[in-house]
Chain A
Amino acid sequence: MSPDLRVRLSQVELVNPIMTAAGCAGTGRELARFVDLARIGAIVTKSVMLEPRAGRPAPRMAETPSGMLSAIGLQGPGVDVFLQRDLPWLLSRGGHTVVSIAGGSASEYAELARRLSEASGVGMIEVNLSCPNPASQGRDFTDEPAEAARVVHAVRSHARSDIPVFAKLAPDVPDLVGLATACVEARADGLSMINAVRGMAIDPVTLRPAVAGGMGGVSGPAIRPIAVGCVHRVHAALPEVPIIGMGGVRTGTDVLEFIAAGASSVAVGTVNFADPSACARILREFEEAVEGRGVARVGELVGAAHRPIGAALGG
C-alpha cells in the first residue's frame, strides 16, 4: 500500500513534504519547464520586498566544495509586480504558494504582510529574517532575537489569520533555540531552517574575495549536517512547533533525514541549480524510501530520531 504523503504545517495541509527553498525556484515559470509545480507540496517564492531591488553586483557566486557561495542581494521586482504578474501565474498552476518576504524594518515586513493578505491565494508567509537591520548597525534580524521577534509579531498582526506565518532562521547565531523560542513567543506558527551559512571564498590568484561584497551564503550539500543539527536541536526544545527543514537536500533519503530530525516538510534549494528536475526526482525517491519503511503516514516519521532506539523506525 502506498503511504499517505500528506503533511500538516500549522493549519495548512500539503500534498507531500517536498517544497522549493526561497530564492531557488525563480518565479516558478523557469522551473515549470522541468517540474509539474502542482505535484510538489509547495513552491516558496524568492523573498519579496516592497520596492524593486537590483541586488548585488556580479560576481554573485563561487562554487565551493559540494556547494556554492552566493550573494544575490535579494534582487526582485517588488511586491506590486509580484502581485500583478508572478502570483497569478503561480496560482494558475494550481500549486500551493508560500510567499517569502524581506524588509529593512518591522513596519516594512508588516506592510508586506498586509499587501499579501489582500491578495487571494497566498498559502503561507515565510519571514526571511536574514536581512540587515539598519536600526541595529546593519546586523541581521536573526542576530538579535528581540529584533527578530518584533518583525514576526508585526507580520503576524498584519497577516490574515488563516495564513500561517513561518519565521526563517539562520544557523550561525549564538543561541538558535533562544531565537526560535523568541519567534514562537511572537506568535510564529512555525519555523523554517536553515538559511545559507555566512561565509567567504577568496580567489587564489587575485587574493580578493571571490564574490563582490566579500561575504556570501554557503548552500548546498556541504551544509546539510549543520542544517540537520539545527532542526534536531530546535525540535527537541519545541516539539509542538512545525518546522520546514532545508539545507543541502539532494535525494529522497536526505528528506527522510530532515523528517527524522523533526521537520514536517523539507525544501530543496541549491540542488535545483544542478538538477532542474530535482524536486520531481526527490519526491519519487522519497516516496520509495517511505514505502520501504511500511508506515501508513509520513507524519509518523517526524522526529523519529528523537525516540528511543527500537521505537524510531517504521517497518
Chain B
Amino acid sequence: MNIVVCVKAIPYIEERVKIDRSGKDIVKAGLKFKINDSDENALEEALILKEKYGGTVTVISLCSDRELTYAEQVVWECYAKGADQAILVCDKIFENPDPYITSKTLAEALRSVKYDLILTGCQAIDDSYMQIGPMIAEILGLPYTTLAVKIQVLDNGRILVHRELEEGYRQAVEIKLPALITVQTGINLPRYAALIKVIAAKKKPLRKITAQELKLDVEMINSWRNIFIEEMYIPKAERAAQIITGSPEEAATKLALIISNTLKSG
C-alpha cells in the first residue's frame, strides 16, 4: 500500500504569546517548531501499515520560504523514522495560506504522486481549522473519513476505521480505497527519531516543488482565499484567576487554606 502523509511544522508554544505589529499574527521569531501532534500520529500509522503490508510512505508539506528550515527539520525527522520520500511545496507566495489554499495546493502537488491512501492529522494545533483533510479528499474526488482512532485493513481494498465521537463514543465505518483519513491523537504511540538518523536523513533527496512548477501564481492563490484574518488579540479572561503569589511554599500554603475553605462552604 502506498501512503501519503501530509505534515505541518507548527510553533511550539510554552509561554505567553505576543501579537506582532501587523496585528494579524503572533510573533514567531524565537519560537521552536515541531511536527503537528496528530500529523505525527498519522505518520506513525502509515509506518505501521507499511511494515505490515509493504509499499511506500511519502510525506508532503507546504510552507513559505521563511518557514523552509522548520519544514525541512520536520521532514528529516520523518525520514529518520522510516518515510521513503519527501516533497516540500515551498514558495514565497504560500505565506499564511488559508485552509482552502493549502488543500488546493497540496492536492495539485499530489496529482503526480501514486497513492492508495492519504493520511493527515485531524487538526493543526496552531490555527486549528480542521478543514484540510476533507478538502483535499473532495478536490481529488476521494472518499474520506475523519478523527480515526483505529485503522484496520480489510480485504478487497477496504479499510475499517473507528472514528471518534463525543463522550467516549466511536463510530465504526468502512471505507473503500483510494481514500483519505484524518487521524486523531491516541491512535498509536509515535516512535522517536534517533538523532543520528535525523543527521543521516539530511543527505536524503528532498523533492522541492515551487508554485511555478504547479502552474500557480499569486492571483490564483488569492482567488482561492476564503478566510481573511482581520485581527488577532489576546482574549479577555472569562473568570480571571486570582493569582496566588509568593514562593512555591507560600503560595501552596495559601492555596491549601483557600481549598479547605471552599470545600467547607459547600
Query: Do A and B interact?
Result: no
List residues of A whose CB falls within 8 A of some B CB.
Answer: none
List residues of B whose CB falls within 8 A of some A CB.
Answer: none
